[in-house]
Structure 1
């Protein structure tokens, strides 16, 4: 007659608990990621709307200040208080230090669990080889069935978790791509304006130069551009790579909180300015006035040249209609209907 104990040995309790907890965590985490994905679909539209609605402010904010207070190994393990800033080595060091204990615990756990299973297999195969079975066939069958069910549940939970995480990271990558693309676009436009102002300042037409006061405005605008538009293109591309790498690690939480705070006040001075430079209304007005002055002055020089020389000098215009004047876009607009007989500036080269 086979011996049947009244309760299972403690040897089987730890693996069973491990499988159950893994299953529950995987399923719940997958559902949370799916919910987050649904909530993050409108992030890009929210960023655009906030940037259009927010007025000029001179305030400064520290993104995710409370969530990023961690010991900084580069600063004698003092709490890091600089907030979310992926360009700061102190922020990255604090994140790495805070994640190290959990990674070490995971490694130790899997090592101990592997050693435990190895010892268990050795004991079952070698030490108790000649001893009779201590359980009935029903107990072994139930153990096998539950093991299979828990394994299937764990696999399904992991599949849900990775699927939800993939959708979430895809939406976050879309937002980061939009932010960096806007940053590069702003920088390219600023550089284009600066090159235009520099070229216009040196215009010489019929021995007539741009007035000195206008040159002073151009120099002032260029200095302003140099002071606030200090985001090199290569730096922005490097930050893009860092974002895509770091968002997939534990910085996801910090980044989500930081972006949520930033979109509430995108014009404030913050670490997000390293990726997406924001300029206030005063800066825009300065550049606009400088561009308006240069455009109007060069336009007047061209029209004066056309009126005095091109249309009155028969050597230059022996036959055909007179050369039309250039329409000033700041006075009459930039369409053919608003300019009348004059040529719009955008069609002047034709």
Structure 2
């Protein structure tokens, strides 16, 4: 994949024309960076810092991953969409694509056709680069001579944000044009009525009837839009909260598993069979790994709790804003219609001014939610494609550097090493004590061992830490304690077996404790590697794209549609409030003049 040269960009280069598309796209880029606390030209500095951080200690790696793994899915799908400006309706690039196997072929929201396999460019025989969401993010880039952006989903690429901001320009331009043009119209109307007051004349029953009909229709449309908006925000809030809860629950599960690993490691240091313990160097390594695991677990819980509260506060705030907006716009449409029908011209004028401002705000908010709808879809596509191409290099690798073989191998090898040592220690006791018939004068080795020989414990790993198949007659870690229970004898007060058996209860308890620790380490070792090498993130992304992305996209579209309906309906209602008030005033004056002149006034309307 060809990487685009990151151009240094300063906000002072913004064009002076306020409503130009390039101005708006650059403004959104600057605003997004400023909100995140970054300088406008901080991308290259971030990349340098990221490279330095990748060379840090294993503890820092674990800390970074434990936070990123659990919080990134929610950030990508929920949190970032509220504070970043993304694209409107993407322009489709007519290229032949292949659907991703195992992923539902559907559109999120029906705005952009996606779930397609992007182009994979081979950089060499072994490494490939994957452009995430290539088809979906094919948009005009104002920073690149208005050519189409082809870099795919990449939040560290300023051209991505520029193309996103450019597609948002029309929606915000409509809000600006409405605010300026209708504001000027209101000003001219005010000056006309104040300075050029004349008696109204000319009345058309058709114009009066049409204005009344359109006023009724647009009021109904505004009410329907408010209903869609309220329903959409409720379902969207529920969907985003469920997604956040899913990630938080996973974080809590991982933190508990990490604590279990730490407990097993601590127990391994205390395990002793026949006064034999783990070597001191192994215990030192256990201390090192245990410290890292405890730190990762504590950091994960702390950061997950803190960030989940922040994200939930944002979701609650957005919900409150939408509820208030839908209620206010519904009240505005109803009162405007009622006052217009009743001929309360003064109150209608006040509502026109209020509606002028609210319609502008609603247009801006509808544009923002269109961006939210599409940026959520962008992110879902990127996550789905990242999951299905685990070996390809993508833009997500800059956020999740999953190729960290040193950390993964250290964690896994340490658990395997401790398991091997514990199994060898148990088998040494079995072969040299339990399965040997000592003479009575060899105390304490003699305790009247008798009966069938005890089976050895299967060591799951070879000395080079590769997997080992159990030999015939060996018992594995899953059922060793149950099998060995049959070889336990009853002992007298001086520790001599009084029944047939190969081990005393004391030996059995020591061996069972060692087996339990070995089983725990063997069970959680792959879990740690799965966590460190991004396997857990891939599973999380897969679950989110399958179970949560459709709802997020669907309900964000409901909000967008509701906001657009409310914006357009109330905007046209404002216009017809003015038109209907004018026709009503002309009708009343015409009727008054005819009645005063002694004529007959024939009107089909009361």
Q: With the length of structure 2 as denominator, give the TM-score of the two structures.
A: 0.33
User: Highest Rg: 1 or 2?
Assistant: 2
